[in-house]
A and B are shown apart, each in its own frame.
Chain A
Amino acid sequence: MSRFEAKKPSLCKSEPLTSERVRATLSVLKGIVTSCYGPLGRLKQLHNGLGGSVCTTSQSSALLANLSVTHPILKILTTSMQNHVSCFSDCGLFTAILCCNLIENAQRIGLTPSTVIKLNKHLLRLCISYLKSEACGCRIPVDFSSTQILLCLVRSILTSKPASMLTRKEIDHISTLILRAFLLTIPENTEDHIILGESIIVPLKGQRVIDSTVLPGILIEMSEVQLMKGLPVKKSDSLKVALFCASLSGDLSDTGEGTVVVSYGVSLENAVLDQLLNLGRQLVSDHVDLVMCQKVIHPSLKQFLSMHRVIAIDRVGVALMEPLSKVTGSQPVGSLGSISPSSYGSVKDLCTAKFGFKHFFHLIPNEATVCSLLLCNRNDTAWDELKLTCQTALHVLQLTLKEPCVLLGGGCTETHLAAYIRHKTCNEPESILKDEGCNQTELHLITEAFCSALESLAASLEHDGGEILTDMKYGHFWSLQADSPSIVNWPDLLSRCGCGLYNSQEELSWSFLRSTCHPFAPQTFLPHEAAGSANYLTLDCFTAKLNGLQVAVETANLILDLSYVIEDKN
């Protein structure tokens, strides 16, 4: 007997943003992301409260993936952040904080959403065209003939994730490794278009970070029993490889529903094993030297192969299949039938290596654009964080290769951009007013909201109660101890700006970031030698930040535009 229940009516709420609860949860979310931001950010412990594993992190990707949000407005926000992070890896927190700031500021000024949205869009266009223009004063072109800028970029990313628990020496070591791993993925002879290889991160938990290393080729973990069997002598200058994605364990492939009836004396297992051994015979007669299988190989087949001096490596895992196929040039075989000769590939050499307590097969390909980054860290939490960080850094390097420039980090880009926008709208408001059809006051209020959103984003880098200043020449970010005595000795109290490009000794004047100051024109056109002058610059990925800016503004606009939330309660 089935029972029908009357459908519940849908729930409709108007003006969701005005509700107290939504504001409260938004500010909690903002509190979380803001407190995580930057190299001095605070960490969060994520766990399920039931004794599951604990993840200590300050990265947006780990944070957003684990946050369970309930309100639709927050869902919009977290989903668009996650989309950004999945495409660009970096600048997730930047995007989230900026978006929250924009929503908060827009609510405070109390103008109609449509005006705010219209002008926000215009200001965003201004920002983007400035950042992309030659005149941009916070962008540095990347010179791929030297490692300096790239190393700074990687180092900035590593430094901004404190939960990886690296010391300064370890940061230098890992940055070099990441850069080397990235360079190993670039093919040597480039024709029309470059196809980048892949860096595989191999875990080695519990060892010292300083023991991490990069090797060209692929590392496959193996047991000690396998090590005992040793490697056969190489017959020629390369090894012939067969790669299987089908299981060779000898079990019956899915028999579907129902029962298979077998008469007594017939053994299906033996039948499959015979098939496997036939396959083995073919491999041997095809002079294959190395058989790799994603899943398990039946011990009898292994024994047969090793008797014929064929190396069998099983349980390679799905993650390695694509790089293996790419490196060896072999087609993964998915059936136990006969194998077409074209699916075989080759590798240059195979040797064994030992790192920590683990033994590995080291596959050395003919043309290597695949490398293995053997990553060590002291404990699981820190290792997970370091792995995410390394992936981010490698991705950022790829993005930088596509768009060879970087932005100044450490809050300087944000304050500089805010100063530029303020100056621009103050001095040339006519075109905007005409285009968008709004009045001077509205423009002023919204510009102020937009710029202060950027500035308080920069100010979120401070977590220990310091004051934020900006200089009136470059519009860069400076931090100062709270309650500092007087303006006179500011040059002595301040050392360098956030990105490390300028120091305080060069005749600058400062003002507090949150004070209302007269709009000024920050110096544009970064001199070429600027990039080479400082050794330790804090840099950000250009592509990721630009996209983050767009996503933040567009998401904020979307959320501001919401006038009804309709929930289906069934």
Chain B
Amino acid sequence: MNEKRHMGLQQLASFAETGRTFLGPVKSSKFIIDEERHESVLISSTVRLLESLDLTSAVGQLLSEAVQAQNNTYRTGTNTLLFLVGAWSSAAEECLHLGVPISLIVSVMSEGLDSCIEEVVSLQVPVYNVFDHMDNTKTFSGFETFSVSLGPFHQIPSDAGLIQKKHNLKDVASQSLTIYSLSGRPVKSPKLFRHQAKVEVDKDTSQTPQTLKNSLLADTCCRKSILIHSRHFNRTDNNQQISKPDGFLEQHGAATPKTYRCNDLVELEMGLSHGDHSSMKLVDNAIRLQYQNANMQQGNRTMPFMFDISRIFTYCLPGLPEAFSCVCPGYITVTSISSTTLIKELQNQPVRVVLIEGDLTENYRHLGFNKSANIKTVLENTKVQQDSSEELWINHVLQVLSKFNVNLVLAQGNVSDYLIEKCIHSKRLVIGSVNGNVMQAFAEASGAVQVAYVTQVNENCVGNGVHVTFWGSIPLDVVDMVDRMAIMLKTEGINLVTVVLTSPVTAHMQAKEDRFWTCAYRLYYALKEQKVFLGGGAVEFLCLSHLQILAEQSLNKRNQVCSGWLRNTSSWLASSLALYRPTVLKCLASGWHRYLSTLIYNTASYSSEFEASTFIQHHLQNAIDSGSPSSYILNECSKLNSGIFNSGISNKLEQIARVYDIVTPKIEAWRRALDLVLLVLQTDSEIITGLGHTQINSQVSEGFLFL
């Protein structure tokens, strides 16, 4: 047993320090060098960083476990997680230095974060109807066209919106059939939305302290006048008036001023790109292809379109200039140059396909099959055929393929090289190592059923109508693909989009793919949850100011309010809570402060973290003085060029768009970060079990105790 005193927190803080530069839209990459093997990796994300670090200590393991869990569940938010782990472990340590009992740090921090999470609901922006305007030719193409992109809204007569809303009220059932011919897609039932909004209202009224609510009420009125100055908000304001017959917005407005909403895909993507426009552009193209495809499949659908991220597939081609990155329907892969003639022959006709779940080799057996080692085949006849068993097997495969007239085989696992060669001779193309989702998509679109063995193939398993072509958008002579070439497989209506990622620097390839997926998942969650946060630090800033206000409140009126904060415990801690609460809340807030100043510093508009920190301090004071931080933030956000929440991304005024953040993944990242810190904080000893014993024996001096 190894006794220790919050070495754990220090360890956490130092691990987290390594990820400081990943925060925010402007990331700096790192080189990780393996001194033993002389290998190096270029990384720019937390997940990759932790993969490359040696985290054998218990705390390091827990950290990487937390990051992995966040990454596996949401694929985003890990940078935030890592940074907050660091910031809050320093904060917890600070509390320890100030003599706050551990149990109190735990309960106040955890309840403080809960309170923040409730508070930031007011900065949620509902996302809906984003696909209504998809039929326009407008696409995501970076800043240049963004000011133009507002155009289509003005082209829609303002009455149209009004009629729509009224219809919704009268007749929910008919809406999908009639009204939305304009957009080709029914709106989410207003009933549902109203319900959701009501829930939020309930929450808000119960949790916002009375004083705050009053000031919010007052604020709603004055803020409207400000918003009208912005061309951007004219329409949202209109919407609010229009939907007043709905009954909820009025009510809602009373509790929280929420005039923001996002119903434009480009605006949403802009906001979620966090500065990575090239990746988001690819995501935009991909989602548009999916949307078009879905529309073609079912002309008058009743199912709303869902962004299906599992049907997006990335293909990396290192060595090409970035400009060659593109998005194509269907499946793109490379094959050896030797099949050129074969593809030429196949490309003008639909071919039949077989999908193999595992490897396509003679020795492959399905998962869970145990091969007996002690079986020996003897030859009774000396004049047997010379064919090896593999040759027999290949002949059998070829027989089956020709029997069902199959010209294309996709296998999820490896394929025997010999078989590929043989198949090319008999005008059949075999492709191995195909992604599982791709297999699924082909199964759906071509009607094929995946099988484990070629022997299983029957007429029902074979799919139809796959087209094989060369994939020509990349001039092949540019690349050093001497013996390989890119081909495209497609089926009528296949729900599959391949994103081809290129990068001239091979070391960047991994990072580029990661960034693409980050953007894709951000958009996916925004659309799935139908809400986003105002981003660019707005939520974190609200948390910061909310905690400051809470801390001051509990300083002023001690011994009140906090009864619920320490869970039904009768310990003395409950009564001394008021004494320590402001301290702990301030420490928690300092974590947000560090987060924000690093964020702003990283975006490079400030030369030092100190400058960034004073800048935040200034706004924080303003926000607290204004009496209602959330409306202060909404205000600042509406001034697009105000600098605090939009700073640094761009200098040109007309190019600034609003920044959005996703909701649940972000909040979960906060929770995970704090959970980890508190878990380590509450740990007082490490117990090393089992075989480690003998090794530890040699270092008895370091305070180990034995059992």
Number of A-B contacts (CB under 8 A): 250
Q: Known contacts A48-B692, A206-B69, A493-B575: does B376 contact A262 (CB below 8 Å)? A: yes
Flag whether B159 is at the interface (Cβ < 8 A). Answer: no
Flag whether A109 is at the interface (Cβ < 8 A). Answer: no
Cα distance, A287 to B117, chains bound together (Å): 54
**Number of interface residues, chain B, beta carbon within 8 A:** 86
Residues of B within 8 A of A262 (CB): 375-378
Identify the stretch in A194-202, A244-252, A325-333, A442-450 within 8 Å (CB) of chain B at 4 or more residues. A244-252
Residues of B within 8 A of A380 (CB): 65, 69
Neighbour of A249 across the interface among B357, B369, B451, B574, CB < 8 A: B369
Residue in A closest to B74 when the chains form the complex, CB atoms: A206
Chain A, range 8-43, C-beta contacts under 8 Å to B:
25, 28-29, 32, 35, 39-40, 42-43
Identify the stretch in B172-180, B602-610, B677-685 within 8 Å (CB) of chain A at 4 or more residues. B677-685
Neighbour of A70 across the interface among B572, B575, B684, B707, CB < 8 A: B707
Judging by beta carbons under 8 Å apart, are B575 and A495 in contact? yes
Judging by beta carbons under 8 Å apart, are A260 and B376 in contact? yes
**Number of interface residues, chain A, beta carbon within 8 A:** 97
Identify the stretch in B299-307, B479-487, B668-676 within 8 Å (CB) of chain A at 4 or more residues. B668-676
Residues of A within 8 A of B384 (CB): 264
Judging by beta carbons under 8 Å apart, are B679 and A259 in contact? no
Cα distance, A38 to B679, chains bound together (Å): 15
Flag whether A338 is at the interface (Cβ < 8 A). Answer: no
Judging by beta carbons under 8 Å apart, are A260 and B375 in contact? yes
Q: Known contacts A167-B110, A249-B366, A382-B675: does B682 contact A43 (CB below 8 Å)? A: yes
Residue in B closest to A466 when the chains form the complex, CB atoms: B572
Q: Known contacts A28-B1, A228-B443, A479-B571: does B366 contact A299 (CB below 8 Å)? A: yes
Cα distance, A379 to B73, chains bound together (Å): 10
Chain B, range 541-579, C-beta contacts under 8 Å to A:
564, 567-576
Flag whether B476 is at the interface (Cβ < 8 A). Answer: no
Cα distance, A258 to B374, chains bound together (Å): 7
Q: Known contacts A298-B366, A464-B104: does B672 contact A163 (CB below 8 Å)? A: no
Judging by beta carbons under 8 Å apart, are A224 and B440 in contact? yes
Judging by beta carbons under 8 Å apart, are B66 and A379 in contact? yes
Residue in A closest to B690 when the chains form the complex, CB atoms: A48
Q: How far is the CB of B53 from chain A (nearest CB, A)?
A: 12
Identify the stretch in A50-58, A81-89, A234-242, A416-424 within 8 Å (CB) of chain B at 4 or more residues. A50-58
Q: How far is the CB of A47 from chain B (nearest CB, A)?
A: 5
Residues of A within 8 A of B683 (CB): 42-45, 56
Cα distance, A193 to B443, chains bound together (Å): 53
Cα distance, A478 to B572, chains bound together (Å): 8
Flag whether B618 is at the interface (Cβ < 8 A). Answer: no
Cα distance, A29 to B202, chains bound together (Å): 51
Residues of A within 8 A of B688 (CB): 47-49
Residue interface mask A497-509, B partner, CB < 8 A = 1: 1111000000000
Chain A, range 313-342, C-beta contacts under 8 Å to B:
314-315
Cα distance, A263 to B377, chains bound together (Å): 5
Flag whether A268 is at the interface (Cβ < 8 A). Answer: yes
Residues of B within 8 A of A53 (CB): 61
Judging by beta carbons under 8 Å apart, are B367 and A296 in contact? yes
Q: How would you classify the secondary structure of chain A's contact residues: helix, strand, loop or mixed?
A: loop
Cα distance, A168 to B106, chains bound together (Å): 12
Residues of B within 8 A of A432 (CB): none
Flag whether B58 is at the interface (Cβ < 8 A). Answer: yes
Q: How far is the CB of B105 from chain A (nearest CB, A)?
A: 10
Chain A, range 293-314, C-beta contacts under 8 Å to B:
295-296, 298-300, 303, 307, 314
Q: Known contacts A48-B692, A295-B368, A410-B570: does B440 contact A382 (CB below 8 Å)? A: no
Judging by beta carbons under 8 Å apart, are A163 and B381 in contact? no
Task: Please give the residue numbers on chain A whose beta carbons come within 8 Å of chain B beta carbons, in ascending order.
Answer: 25, 28-29, 32, 35, 39-40, 42-51, 53-54, 56, 63, 66-71, 74, 159, 162-163, 165, 167-169, 171, 205-208, 224-225, 228, 247, 249-252, 255, 257-264, 266, 268, 295-296, 298-300, 303, 307, 314-315, 356-357, 378-382, 410, 461-467, 478-481, 493-500, 536, 538
Given contacts A255-B374, A258-B374, 12 further A-B contacts (CB under 8 A): A46-B686, A54-B62, A54-B65, A168-B111, A252-B375, A261-B377, A262-B378, A356-B73, A379-B676, A479-B571, A494-B575, A500-B568
Residue pairs across A and B with Cβ atoms less than 8 A apart, 28 shown, are A32-B687, A35-B685, A42-B684, A48-B692, A49-B696, A51-B56, A68-B689, A70-B706, A167-B110, A168-B567, A206-B72, A225-B440, A249-B369, A255-B372, A257-B374, A259-B374, A263-B379, A266-B377, A268-B375, A296-B368, A379-B62, A463-B102, A464-B104, A466-B573, A479-B572, A480-B572, A481-B576, A496-B570
